[in-house]
Amino acid sequence: MKKEKKPDAVVFDEDTQSYHGKLMPYATGVAAPKITPPDVTSWKNAHIVGANYQFKAKFQELQRQYREMMQQFEYNDLVYGAKFNFEPIIGKTYHLYRAKDQSTFLSLIAPHECTFAHLGSFRLSPDKVWEKL
């Protein structure tokens, strides 16, 4: 028995013995319209610029946060490296001074009440980090 050959333009499944051209995601007939993908180059270029601005803004924000964190670390290191003979209370303001021998010390005495070089006023936060006032 000889099989009947179907024309090339017909989408026929030999296994199921059915036509399945209407199920295909692409055109299967010669009379079907030409499929041309849309040109999205201008859309891509416009959105790439927007995305790059967003990445740049986020990067600059991270840089700013890093600088603030490093500054806070330096202040914290400076205060914890100073001499003090008391246990600081959380939330209370303390003043950092430089003595004549160039050493630093932490004191409760306000800057207008003494003659030492005032380096800054600090407050101890609940997480034990010194905040510059």
Domain membership of residue 5 (yes or no) is no
CA dihedral for 8, 12, 15, 17, sign (positive or negative): negative
In a domain, 70, yes or no: no
**Rounded distance, CA 111 to CA 114, Å?**
6
* Band of pLDDT at residue 10, cut at 50, 70 and 90: low
**DSSP at 19:** E
pLDDT category at 109 given cuts 50, 70, 90 is confident
Question: What is the rounded radius of gyration, in angstroms, for the C-alpha atoms of the chain?
Answer: 38
Do residues 61 and 89 touch, judged by C-beta distance below 8 A? Answer: no
The total number of structural domains in the chain stands at: 1
Assigned domain for 58 exists: no
3-class secondary structure, 82: coil
* Per-residue pLDDT at 8 exceeds 60: no
Whole-prediction pTM value? 0.57
Spatial separation of the C-alpha atoms in residues 34 and 24, rounded to whole Å:
15
Q: Is the pLDDT of residue 36 over 70?
A: yes
Q: How far, rounded to the nearest angstrom, does the alpha carbon of residue 59 sit from its chain's CA centroid?
A: 7
Q: 117, 92, 97: which is closest to 107 by C-alpha?
A: 97
- 53-108 pLDDT, tens digit per residue, is 999 999 999 999 999 999 999 999 988 888 888 888 888 989 999 888 888 888 88
87: in domain: yes
Which pLDDT score, from 0 to 100, does residue 64 have? 96
15 lies in some domain = no
Domain holding 97, by residue range, is 75-133
| Phi and psi, residue 81, nearest 5° | -85, -10
pLDDT at 71: 93
Does residue 24 sit within a domain?
A: no
